[in-house]
Amino acid sequence: MSPAPDTSLRGTQGGKKVPKRMASLLEMKEIFRNADAVCFDVDSTVIREEGIDELAKFCGVGDAVAEMTRRAMGGTVTFKAALTARLGLIRPSYEQVQKLISDHPPQLTPGIRELVNRLHQRGVQVFLVSGGFQSIVEHVALQLNIPTANVFANRLKFYFNGEYAGFDETQPTAESGGKGKVITHLKEQFHFKNVVMIGDGATDMEACPPADCFIGFGGNVIRKQVKEKAKWYITHFDELLKELEER
Catalytic positions, written as ranges: 41, 43
| Cα 115 to Cα 113: distance, rounded to the nearest angstrom | 6
Do β-strands 233-234 and 213-217 pair in parallel, antiparallel, or remain unpaired? Answer: parallel
How many residues belong to the chain? Answer: 247
Three-class SS of residue 25?
helix
| Cα 128 to Cα 10: distance, rounded to the nearest angstrom | 27
| Cα 235 to Cα 123: distance, rounded to the nearest angstrom | 25
What are the counts of helices (DSSP H) followed by strands (DSSP E) for the chain? Answer: 11, 10
| Cα 178 to Cα 100: distance, rounded to the nearest angstrom | 26
Listed as own residue / partner, the contacts of 76-84 with beta carbons closer than 8 Å and 24 or more positions apart are 78/175, 78/176, 79/131, 79/174, 79/175, 79/176, 79/178, 79/203, 80/169, 80/174, 80/175, 80/176, 83/52, 83/131, 83/154, 83/167, 83/174, 84/167
Strand partners of residue 233: 216
